[in-house]
């Protein structure tokens, strides 16, 4: 499901670090060399490169990158080079500090990651920012969004396959009742979405569809401009169909006048080692155009080359 392509014969760690150092030095930066190395190494290999680079040259690799490149290319390389948990921590911190209704990043981190990944992101947040993710979300988010997002980012869901079918039926009815009365921020709605296992939630949403004849997300479109309803739909889609959820994020980032580089970079860097192949398939099916072609048509230069490398272009 990942699109990352690591060479069958990976160079020695010292050689990777030496070549990166050479890419940063001299009259100009060798961006192609940076992409050829970092754009084709998995998380464990990138982690080892960062450590060896710091030990050898007395400088953090990320500092060398920011000193030599800039703009969208820099952001893509930095986000990709970060450990996945550290990357989530950085994205979460950016979002919490500049939070506004409709920003989906906290939902993605809380709902499109496994329990261990979310826990690791919270720990990375502690280590990097010397605060908890929960307290920063609580400090910057308000109203029903705070009621939803604080327990979402705090959760540690059970990840087993067990399902209580009777509970799924009763909670599907409960959700329908609350939605029917437009009680979208009701404590019971929040409780179900923020505490139940993924398997249990999928059973509940399937029961909702079977009982009421349509998906729960359809009933959460009563007001298309309501950002809280949009957030609830994002929560459900991240649980039920993350590939189609992220396909839509990528599609909207590319569509229209101008590119939303932050969203496009986020999708590609966070999913390249997870399910970007499925996202590419969903994009092709939905748009009849390969995602690589759409990205190439909307980006340029080294930024384009970095994204295409992560998309698996040969």
Q: How far is CA 303 from CA 21, 88, 257, in A?
A: 20, 21, 18
Binding site per annotation, positions: 24, 26, 28, 68, 254, 258, 296, 298-299, 304
What domains are there in the chain, each with its CATH number? Answer: 13-69 (1.10.220.10), 84-153 (1.10.220.10), 165-240 (1.10.220.10), 243-310 (1.10.220.10)
Tokens 């084709």: give the residue. 40
The structure's pTM equals 0.96
As a residue count, the chain comes to: 314
**The two structure tokens encoding residue 178:** 């609350």
What's the maximum distance between 2 C-alpha atoms anywhere in the chain?
Answer: 68
Structure-token pair, residue 172: 């599907």
Instruction: Please report how the helices 301-310 and 71-81 are oriented relative to each other, as an axis angle in degrees rounded to 10.
Output: 30
Give, for all 314 residues of the chain, the pLDDT tens digit.
Answer: 999 999 999 999 999 999 999 999 978 899 999 999 999 999 999 999 999 999 999 999 999 999 999 999 999 999 999 999 999 999 999 999 999 998 999 999 999 999 999 999 999 999 999 999 999 999 999 999 999 999 999 999 999 999 999 999 999 999 999 999 999 999 999 999 999 999 999 999 999 999 999 999 999 998 889 999 999 999 999 999 999 999 999 999 999 788 999 999 999 999 999 999 999 999 999 999 999 999 999 999 999 999 999 999 87
Residue ranges for the binding site for Ca(2+)?
24, 26, 28, 68, 254, 258, 296, 298-299, 304
Taking the alpha carbons of 3, 30, 81, 253 in that order, is the dihedral positive or negative? negative
């Amino acid at each position: 499901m990942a699109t990352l392509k690591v060479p069958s014969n990976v160079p020695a760690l010292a050689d990777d670090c030496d070549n990166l150092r050479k890419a940063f030095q001299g009259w100009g930066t060798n961006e192609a060399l940076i992409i050829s190395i970092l754009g084709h190494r998995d998380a464990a290999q990138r982690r080892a490169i960062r450590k060896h680079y710091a030990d050898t040259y007395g400088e953090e690799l990320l500092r060398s990158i920011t000193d030599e490149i800039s703009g969208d290319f820099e952001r893509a390389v930095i986000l990709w080079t970060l450990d996945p948990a550290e990357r989530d921590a950085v994205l979460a911190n950016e979002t919490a500090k500049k939070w506004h209704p409709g920003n989906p990043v906290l939902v993605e981190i809380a709902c499109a990651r496994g329990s261990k990944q979310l826990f690791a992101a919270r720990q990375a947040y502690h280590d990097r920012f010397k605060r908890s993710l929960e307290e920063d979300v609580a400090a910057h988010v308000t109203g029903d969004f705070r009621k939803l997002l604080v327990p979402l980012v705090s959760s540690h869901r059970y990840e087993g396959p067990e399902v209580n079918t009777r509970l799924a039926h009763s909670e599907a009815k409960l959700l329908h009742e609350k939605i029917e009365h437009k009680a979208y921020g009701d404590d019971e709605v929040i409780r179900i979405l923020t505490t139940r296992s993924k398997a249990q939630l999928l059973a509940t949403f399937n029961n909702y569809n079977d009982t009421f004849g349509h998906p729960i997300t359809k009933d959460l479109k009563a007001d298309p401009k309501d950002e809280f309803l949009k957030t609830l739909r994002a929560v459900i889609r991240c649980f039920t169909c993350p590939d189609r959820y992220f396909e839509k994020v990528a599609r909207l980032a590319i569509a229209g006048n101008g590119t939303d580089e932050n969203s496009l970079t986020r999708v590609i860097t966070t999913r390249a080692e997870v399910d970007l192949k499925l996202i590419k398939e969903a994009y092709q099916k939905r748009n009849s155009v390969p995602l690589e072609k759409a990205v190439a048509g909307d980006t340029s230069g080294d930024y384009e080359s970095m994204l295409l490398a992560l998309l698996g272009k040969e």
